Structure 1
């Protein structure tokens, strides 16, 4: 995010309530605070073109960042009134204006508290293009282009989240062009509409909101009023955008409005966050208001929001020229693995080859070399959830006669400070007091006198040999053959043959890997053994056989795992005995 301007930063306000009464501002204080109002005029499409009809949007904002009410007029340089203006929703509004060339215009607005402001309205170049969009129709988006230039070709592109969903080339005739775009061709959410010249120069641009997937939810009760302990019957009717029955999964919650009063319009939902507020600059007041229903009024107010708080996600001129900001900050990763390779005498080993392989989680295989101090580092690693790794070092002059020592856990500093204290104006102190009292009451229950649930026994578990010497962890193998399945065979080798997974073969009494190089290595109770042991062992004496194919799980065993492994755990091993120390070698480390 730091590679770009602050608009790319993610901001989220979390309100923390308190039962402490907050002193409210007096009326005189409130009038003083709201006396300074900021008004900004925003021409649709980015241009206010002389000689043609334009739509001019505006937004009035108080010092607290919320919309406020204004009204006024627009005059030309001769004080002739050419338009009247007033806010329509949350400080936003719009009006039509056909400015004359070589004239200046200004607005005289009056705020809610009687403040009068004189604000100039600048004009664009006469050669610019005016863009008008009508989003009132449920099925089509109507577009009108106007220019003082008589005829020239244009390209219209509609894109969302970096993907182009609609593109068309057309010609302005007598300085005008009208057309429609079927909304079924566009995705639900904010769509960026851009008009280009035939030379790929952006001429006009604006955002529109498309709502193809909205649901109409109707709730009806069997009574108008209920008494205490009455049974409430609710009928819910859900239809799609075209008022046809909709199938879906829904949830419902019931609250006491006297204890927790709230306004549905001010709440932010998953729908409003993903499709609206996350794509707009600044604070969006009452985001859920625009999706409460699909009436023409709410649709028009949502279009006002697009005209005022809508922002352009791309600088098209830089994009077309393939000119992008050079990244000053590389992507940050969460995991770093480092350590030192030493000889058996403790001397740091220079130029040793170190490899890290993931045996669980996302696949990973990286190689590096140690520096003069025998130190190595794998940085910029990124993993989801937990993962297990194997780090192995090889120094050709001494082969495996080296040891790997990993560095300790890195301590991370908390870089986030304490934010500003938030006003609990929208929090009900009564509800907080009730919640606090309920928590105190809950902690006062006598657990001994409370009814206890009976014990629930879950039968069935993952097959894991209790004393397995598997270096990846008991049961962490490509296949596991349990002792109950093996005891019906004459020899252990026969039991393995009849339960052998893909990737292995058997020929003339020898097991081999079809994907690796070499024969299968047998590990018997933590000790490397010959395959002949498979024909000697009684299957009734075997607890399990864990089969590991040549790959990431076999990497921890080094060269001996190239052809895969059969890890045999017998029932004779006593619980608690440690596996043989010759597995793994000192040059291999396993960690999670």
Structure 2
């Protein structure tokens, strides 16, 4: 177990959001943390974090690449006005996390509501939209619910009293209240059950050898018969009861011969408890009381193993949250008026009251848009990140710890089993080599195959980058035909590049594909409800009103002056290009915008020279095209002209498949025109200049067999949250300030050695209740969560 963490070094990612729900046109602000999965210390293994917003069909709506510094970063996603209102999935992961699978990525469902209010809107378009939403909701709700039963410890054992847990969910994984009966093969009732929280619960009964059992349930009014796990004639049960300060563990055995067994208790690979004993043949019971103080906070995995280390039974429990850090947020006044300064005192202390210096992110948002049961960094690191599948309302289990809450959490652990690693895989031998490496910089992964789909091993892939810097690289494919280029850290610029592939014998009729990214987990996202709680509906309407006001204010941010007829006399300025070191008039210029075939992706740059420039001879076919400028005698004896790409000398081979669609101009210099290049230009110069600054230009991805032309986005720019100050004279003071949905966001709050910090901002014109929330992770790996209220009236 410890070896698993030592060798695989799994990571966890978490995003702290400014609020829980959004409307179209808003900005989603987030702070990112990446930690080691075992110690929760801020991780420095990976340096790149991928953040994606996925639609219900799995389509990536928005993507951000973040540069991690000490396991931390922050960013924002602007939700475009064209985005369809719906439930989306926000996920974050590193390249290294892909080895564990998408089940262990950070994932959170996000409701995005329309920009315009639906209340009172009876337009034909809105009525049609409502009808479509109603049909979608009706269709999804008609799908059969999912009901599953789980034997505590892993197996139903005949002759013993077994605890069986169950979980009933709808199509989207949300819990459904359920009750029913357990019947044997003769339809005789043997047990009854009723869910206690989010469709989950448990019951006890003593199965009989040779019998088969099934449950009769009707979740959501749909009658179902669900089989229970098969009954084993002999085996072990592992029963755990979580008390206030201890775990009461009971091991029962039925049948078999005497054997030595061991009970292990570990949290994230750290063994905190181990005991050995011998159970005699027949019926045997062993009970022990283990203090919870022996375990670090989080999921405790109790495993019963035999003398050979083979697992016999397994049970999850949860250790209390005593070691958590406490964050207090104290505004300097009980209430505030519009546009008044707010000073929030932030203090962080451990369980003993000692101050802690650490980084935090702080959000102040409309209280109606913040879900108190949403996931926090504590809930994520200690619970949801170590469980596969969707967890409904994870913050509930940490919000108000009570015996009832602990019981509901126990039901969750009985049904949502441990998935961080599988015993059979660990016992089979050494872990397989990871497929994905550690990302220290943005990279490009892909595969080269034959048209038949057979991988091309030992092939050559060349990398030709045109901006922001000119780079020419080459690499070989591995036995699976895969390749990797890394180190693409050109600040925040988009990288424009072309990839070309060939076999070791020069064959170019190949297929070059990029890594499609991690798969999207199966399962549907819920549709937006037609009826929402009053507090949420009010918050959505306030957000919609704010968005409408912001759109209107965009036209009022400057003072407009109406002028009468004005005549402007000027000469057209000729733009200069720093890439060109010779006068433009001295060259023969081909502008690609003048040739339709250059824009449709069917021609390469060298093909565009054929028959278009007098004295320039172009022979051969790609990739063996030869260009000669007639009438020029080279002193070096070579007839090959000098090739330039954006002013940088390259070989003709680098332009073999370079798409003309990426080119702005091709310029030819002959004789004395090329004298500025000395002997290098004695056979003439072919200068190719790529397009710049055209936001509407979007070349197709695949240009020719074995060639890809693409743009790779760099690191996302760290946007600053706009928070006006009203204690200084600014032109903005006389304009309305509609901020309400998110009043303030600061991802870089740091407490000092005394565990304290002060944050100052101003209220806006909006009045009402706001929710303050702060989250972070200390250098020692302890999560910190705090919240408070702010009243503006």
- Give the TM-score taking structure 2 as reference length: 0.41
Residue 155 and residue 270 in structure 1: after superposition, are their counterparts in 2 closer, same or farther (change >3 A)?
same
C-alpha distance in structure 2 between counterparts of 1:254 and 1:327, whole Å: 41
Kindly indicate whether the alpha-carbon contact (under 8 Å) linking 2:181 and 2:192 is maintained by their aligned counterparts in 1: yes
Residue 47 and residue 370 in structure 1: after superposition, are their counterparts in 2 closer, same or farther (change >3 A)?
closer
> Could you tell me which residue of structure 2 aligns to residue 180 of structure 1?
289
The alignment status of 1:105 with 2:213, answered yes or no, reads yes
Residue 434 and residue 160 in structure 1: after superposition, are their counterparts in 2 closer, same or farther (change >3 A)?
same
Kindly indicate whether the alpha-carbon contact (under 8 Å) linking 2:140 and 2:171 is maintained by their aligned counterparts in 1: no
C-alpha distance in structure 2 between counterparts of 1:253 and 1:327, whole Å: 38
> Structure 1 residues 144-153 or 30-39, which shifts more?
30-39
Kindly indicate whether the alpha-carbon contact (under 8 Å) linking 1:54 and 1:131 is maintained by their aligned counterparts in 2: no
Kindly indicate whether the alpha-carbon contact (under 8 Å) linking 2:181 and 2:216 is maintained by their aligned counterparts in 1: yes
C-alpha distance in structure 2 between counterparts of 1:193 and 1:12, whole Å: 28
Deviations for 1:97-131, whole angstroms, at most 9, x for unmatched residues? 21122222221112232x22222213342222111
Kindly indicate whether the alpha-carbon contact (under 8 Å) linking 2:178 and 2:217 is maintained by their aligned counterparts in 1: yes
Residue 235 and residue 14 in structure 1: after superposition, are their counterparts in 2 closer, same or farther (change >3 A)?
closer
Kindly indicate whether the alpha-carbon contact (under 8 Å) linking 2:102 and 2:518 is maintained by their aligned counterparts in 1: no
Deviations for 1:72-108, whole angstroms, at most 9, x for unmatched residues? 0112234332211111111111111211222222211
C-alpha distance in structure 2 between counterparts of 1:287 and 1:448, whole Å: 50
Structure having the higher strand fraction is 2
Task: Report the structure number with the largest CA radius of gyration.
Answer: 1
> Could you tell me which residue of structure 1 aligns to residue 320 of structure 2?
211
> Could you tell me which residue of structure 2 aligns to residue 58 of structure 1?
166
The alignment status of 1:322 with 2:433, answered yes or no, reads no
C-alpha distance in structure 2 between counterparts of 1:81 and 1:416, whole Å: 50
The alignment status of 1:148 with 2:254, answered yes or no, reads yes
> CA shift at 1:162, angstroms?
2.6
Residue 270 and residue 56 in structure 1: after superposition, are their counterparts in 2 closer, same or farther (change >3 A)?
same
SS at match of 1:23: helix
The alignment status of 1:7 with 2:107, answered yes or no, reads no
Kindly indicate whether the alpha-carbon contact (under 8 Å) linking 2:386 and 2:419 is maintained by their aligned counterparts in 1: no
Residue 273 and residue 79 in structure 1: after superposition, are their counterparts in 2 closer, same or farther (change >3 A)?
same
C-alpha distance in structure 1 between counterparts of 2:170 and 2:552, whole Å: 44
> CA shift at 1:218, angstroms?
10
Gaps of 5+ in 1: 338-368, 372-377, 387-407, 450-592
Report 1:76-87 matches (<5 A): 76-87=184-195
Deviations for 1:215-273, whole angstroms, at most 9, x for unmatched residues? 789999999x98988999999999987xx76756898766544xx344311x2222222
> Structure 1 residues 170-179 or 290-299, which shifts more?
170-179
Report 1:141-290 matches (<5 A): 141-149=247-255, 151-172=258-279, 174-212=283-321, 213-214=323-324, 255-257=365-367, 260-265=368-373, 267-290=374-397
Report 1:420-569 matches (<5 A): 423-425=527-529, 428-440=539-551, 443=554
> Could you tell me which residue of structure 2 aligns to residue 528 of structure 1?
none
C-alpha distance in structure 1 between counterparts of 2:442 and 2:136, whole Å: 56
Kindly indicate whether the alpha-carbon contact (under 8 Å) linking 2:216 and 2:223 is maintained by their aligned counterparts in 1: yes
> CA shift at 1:158, angstroms?
2.0
C-alpha distance in structure 1 between counterparts of 2:555 and 2:356, whole Å: 42
The alignment status of 1:312 with 2:419, answered yes or no, reads yes
C-alpha distance in structure 2 between counterparts of 1:306 and 1:72, whole Å: 21
Residue 74 and residue 31 in structure 1: after superposition, are their counterparts in 2 closer, same or farther (change >3 A)?
farther
C-alpha distance in structure 2 between counterparts of 1:152 and 1:415, whole Å: 51
> CA shift at 1:138, angstroms?
2.6
The alignment status of 1:90 with 2:198, answered yes or no, reads yes
Gaps of 5+ in 2: 1-96, 119-128, 445-473, 477-482, 500-513, 561-793
Kindly indicate whether the alpha-carbon contact (under 8 Å) linking 1:85 and 1:94 is maintained by their aligned counterparts in 2: yes
> CA shift at 1:144, angstroms?
0.8
C-alpha distance in structure 1 between counterparts of 2:475 and 2:392, whole Å: 56
C-alpha distance in structure 2 between counterparts of 1:207 and 1:145, whole Å: 14
The alignment status of 1:120 with 2:227, answered yes or no, reads yes
C-alpha distance in structure 2 between counterparts of 1:4 and 1:253, whole Å: 31
Deviations for 1:425-473, whole angstroms, at most 9, x for unmatched residues? 5875313223214434654666799xxxxxxxxxxxxxxxxxxxxxxxx
C-alpha distance in structure 2 between counterparts of 1:414 and 1:103, whole Å: 50
SS at match of 2:156: coil
SS at match of 1:134: strand
C-alpha distance in structure 1 between counterparts of 2:201 and 2:151, whole Å: 12
C-alpha distance in structure 2 between counterparts of 1:158 and 1:188, whole Å: 13
Residue 296 and residue 439 in structure 1: after superposition, are their counterparts in 2 closer, same or farther (change >3 A)?
same
C-alpha distance in structure 2 between counterparts of 1:9 and 1:262, whole Å: 23
Deviations for 1:492-514, whole angstroms, at most 9, x for unmatched residues? xxxxxxxxxxxxxxxxxxxxxxx
Residue 236 and residue 143 in structure 1: after superposition, are their counterparts in 2 closer, same or farther (change >3 A)?
farther
> CA shift at 1:283, angstroms?
1.1
Kindly indicate whether the alpha-carbon contact (under 8 Å) linking 2:262 and 2:274 is maintained by their aligned counterparts in 1: yes
Deviations for 1:324-363, whole angstroms, at most 9, x for unmatched residues? 44555555664789xxxxxxxxxxxxxxxxxxxxxxxxxx
Aligned residues: 384
- Give the TM-score taking structure 1 as reference length: 0.54
> Could you say what the CA RMSD is over the residues aligned between the two structures, in angstroms?
4.7
> CA shift at 1:17, angstroms?
3.8
Kindly indicate whether the alpha-carbon contact (under 8 Å) linking 1:216 and 1:293 is maintained by their aligned counterparts in 2: no
Residue 235 and residue 330 in structure 1: after superposition, are their counterparts in 2 closer, same or farther (change >3 A)?
closer
C-alpha distance in structure 1 between counterparts of 2:487 and 2:296, whole Å: 32
> Structure 1 residues 306-315 or 51-60, which shifts more?
306-315
> Could you tell me which residue of structure 1 aligns to residue 151 of structure 2?
43
C-alpha distance in structure 2 between counterparts of 1:138 and 1:383, whole Å: 53
Residue 215 and residue 440 in structure 1: after superposition, are their counterparts in 2 closer, same or farther (change >3 A)?
same
C-alpha distance in structure 1 between counterparts of 2:212 and 2:550, whole Å: 65
Residue 140 and residue 240 in structure 1: after superposition, are their counterparts in 2 closer, same or farther (change >3 A)?
farther
Residue 78 and residue 247 in structure 1: after superposition, are their counterparts in 2 closer, same or farther (change >3 A)?
farther
> CA shift at 1:306, angstroms?
0.9
Kindly indicate whether the alpha-carbon contact (under 8 Å) linking 2:159 and 2:206 is maintained by their aligned counterparts in 1: yes
Residue 382 and residue 191 in structure 1: after superposition, are their counterparts in 2 closer, same or farther (change >3 A)?
farther
Kindly indicate whether the alpha-carbon contact (under 8 Å) linking 1:189 and 1:210 is maintained by their aligned counterparts in 2: yes
